[in-house]
Structure 1
Amino acid sequence: MTVIAEISMSVDGIVAGPDTGTEHRLGKGGDLLHHWMFEGTDADARVGARILEGIGAFVVGRTMFDVGVDPWGDDGTFEKPVFVVTNRPHEPVVKGPTTFTFVTDGPEAALRQAKQAAAGNDVMLMGGGTTLRQYLLAGLVEELRLHVVPLLFGTGVRLFDAEVGAHVKLERTAVEETPNATHLTYRVLN
């Protein structure tokens, strides 16, 4: 079982545009960060198809849930258990085969529950950026997959807005380049 953090970002580290909300679920202009998934090359499509392989459960932040639950539709998209890190209690939400469980006692508790639900399969940390940053800085991520889009976004949510002095050491294990994104995989060393 591997704990994987996966996210698309601009060259300047933006993972969501400004003003994230139900009108702009990825922030203003944030859809540009995911064009590689829907309008990319065959190589991009292969990378996109591999995202969910071997995943037994997911962890997301509350903002990602709040802005994504309606567009994800009646089946909830994930088709696996999803654990929502939040400080606001909520009853579980069931959408087809996807059950969203709200965890209010911290990121570590959400990850423990996701690992148990994954039954030996990998756990995917999907975001948003603030949630992934918490897991990275806590040393809970084993593999980081970045899809770097050739775009300077300028403003928005930065993945690497870490505290001064907080370092996360990485070893690159794979890279695949297309005109739409550079797909990087890293093993997290600490």
Structure 2
Amino acid sequence: MSQTRVHNFALSLDGFATGEPQSLEAPFGHAGHRLHEWFFATRQFSADGAHGIDDAFAQRWAPGIGAEIMGANKFGPPGWQDDLGWRGWWGERPPFGTPVFVLTHRPRPPLELDGTTFHFLSASPDEVLAAARDAGGGLDVRIGGGPSVVRDFLLADLIDHLHVVQVPILLGRGVRLWDGLEGLEERFAVEATTSPSGVTHLVFNRKVHGG
């Protein structure tokens, strides 16, 4: 069976994956782009970016992925459901290149863009994962965020591979990932890799039975 993966998911030292308040002008709230500066410096993001530890992790985002699942707050700013013309943050050619399933309490017809089709549905984690696996043709499914969606899939024990990037900043407020996940590490083999950029890559791989 295909795996369920999370990649390049950046967190502050105090566990926040986004700041507040989120808006069209500030997608990550008061966090700005500070959680993602490590990624912007990689070759994966830009042809002018650098190779190295961060780039090696960043490049694992795409291979083997057949579909993505994301939450409503990743697809657009608060209130985007009221704007039938909203087509996501990424323009007419989104970077996904796969079917994308957007979890929202207000479903709408699919949106077809260049190389990516967005499907909007209200469903439980296991239901949307089944739909994504079917659409992904047996390849892996990426859980793209935000933190509430990743937390829900972790609580449902549906994630096989989790790559978290701990960024050395303190946000103090926003949306946290780890709340309610005490003892999560017992289900995973955990590896940590530090980078010259100052971030730490934490990789959680589901333990095999008996591991």
> What is the TM-score with the length of structure 1 in the denominator?
0.90
- Is the 8 Å Cα contact of residues 17 and 27 (structure 1) preserved in structure 2? yes
Bigger radius of gyration: 2
For 2:114 and 2:135, the matched residues in 1 are separated by 17
- Provide the aligned length of Structure 1 versus Structure 2: 188
The reply on whether 1:66 has 2:71 as its aligned counterpart is no
Specify whether residues 162 and 130 from structure 1 end up closer, same or farther in structure 2 by C-alpha distance, changes over 3 A only: same
For the residues of structure 2 that align with 1:161 and 1:11, how far apart are their CA atoms?
Answer: 14
Is residue 169 of structure 2 the alignment partner of residue 151 of structure 1?
yes
Tell me what 1:34 maps to.
36
Task: Tell me how far 1:70 sits from its aligned partner.
Answer: 3.9
CA distance in 2, matches of 1:21, 1:133: 22
Task: For 1:167 and 1:89, locate their aligned partners in 2 and report how far apart those are by CA, in whole Å.
Answer: 34
**Residues 170 and 177 from structure 1, CA distance in 2 versus in 1: closer, same or farther, beyond 3 angstroms?**
farther
SS in 2 for 1:72: coil
Q: Give, as a single letter, the amino acid of the residue that structure 2 aligns with 1:3.
A: T
User: Residues of 1 paired with 2:167 and 2:58: CA distance?
Assistant: 14
In 2, distance between residues paired with 1:25 and 1:183?
23
Cα deviation, residue 17, structure 1: 0.8
In structure 1, the residue matched to 2:14 is 12
Change (3 A) 1:84 1:170: same
Of 127-136 and 61-70, more deviation after overlay is shown by 61-70
For structure 1, list consecutive stretches of 5 or more residues without a partner in the other structure: none
| Matched residue, 1:24 | 26
SS at the partner of 1:42?
coil
Structure 1 ranges of 4+ moved more than 6 A: none
The two structures, once aligned, show a CA RMSD in angstroms of 2.0
C-alpha deviations, 1:112-138, integer Å up to 9, x for none? 111111212111001000011111001
Q: Secondary structure at the match of 2:201?
A: strand
Shift of 1:161: 1.9
From the superposition, tell whether residues 174 and 158 of structure 1 become closer, same or farther in structure 2 (CA, over 3 Å): same
Specify the alignment match of 2:129 in structure 1: 111
Conserved in 1, the CA contact under 8 Å of 2:12 and 2:169? yes
TM-score by length of 2: 0.81
1:42 alignment partner AA: H
Whether the 8 Å CA contact 2:76–2:89 is kept in 1: the answer is no
- The percentage of counterpart residues that share the same residue type is 33
Structure 2 unmatched ranges of 5 or more: 43-49, 78-85
What is the Cα deviation at residue 109 of structure 1? 1.5
- Alignment-derived partner of residue 51 in structure 1: 61
Kindly report which structure 2 residues correspond to 1:60-99, keeping only aligned pairs within 5 A, or say none.
Answer: 60-67=70-77, 69-99=87-117
Are the aligned partners of 1:174 and 1:185 in contact in 2 as well (CA < 8 Å)? yes
Measured against aligned partners, the alpha-carbon deviations of 1:42-96 in whole angstroms (never above 9, x if no partner) come to 2212221221111111000011112495431111221111011111111111111
